[in-house]
């Protein structure tokens, strides 16, 4: 990511561009957890986990709630909707292009058949 890429969608894609951060989100999909619980499955220091949580939080993908003395994390899926919308739009455009190409190929084939029948 370049230094200027701080738009929301870029932050979300950047946050998802790491297998540990995606694993953390997978864990949070099944319920809230503390930073300690999230660190457990990974062979990494607590500061390293905290850094990942900060990246996820700045992308709006998690909320960190101070509840009693425990600070729990929950997933937020709204940014995933934006990602999904972007992806779907580009797949749709591309599929549309393929359909146009298909149509053109069918036309060419038909023209060739017509041409052969003329001879």
| Binding residues for a second copy (CB under 8 A) | 1-2, 5, 7, 9-11, 13-14, 16-20, 22, 25-26, 29-31, 75, 77, 80-81, 83-84, 86-88, 90-91, 93-95, 97
Q: Judged by CB, which is closer to a second copy: 25, or 38? A: 25
Angle, in degrees to the nearest 10, between helices 19-29 and 46-58 = 80
How many whole angstroms separate alpha carbon 2 and alpha carbon 11? 11
Q: How far is Cα of residue 63 from the mean position of the Cα atoms in its chain?
A: 18
Q: Judged by CB, which is closer to a second copy: 5, or 113? A: 5
Q: Judged by CB, which is closer to a second copy: 97, or 112? A: 97
The radius of gyration of the chain from alpha carbons, rounded to an integer in Å, stands at 24
């Amino acid at each position: 990511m370049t230094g200027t890429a701080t738009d929301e969608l870029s932050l979300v894609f950047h946050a998802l561009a790491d297998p540990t951060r995606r694993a953390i989100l997978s864990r949070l999909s099944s319920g809230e957890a503390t930073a300690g619980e999230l660190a457990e499955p990974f062979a990494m220091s607590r500061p390293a986990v905290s850094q990942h949580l900060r990246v996820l939080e700045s992308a709006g993908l998690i909320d960190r709630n101070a509840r009693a003395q425990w600070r729990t994390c929950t997933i937020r899926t709204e940014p995933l909707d934006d990602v999904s919308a972007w992806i779907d739009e580009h797949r749709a455009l591309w599929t549309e292009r393929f359909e146009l190409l298909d149509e053109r190929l069918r036309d060419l084939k038909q023209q060739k058949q017509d041409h052969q029948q003329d001879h």
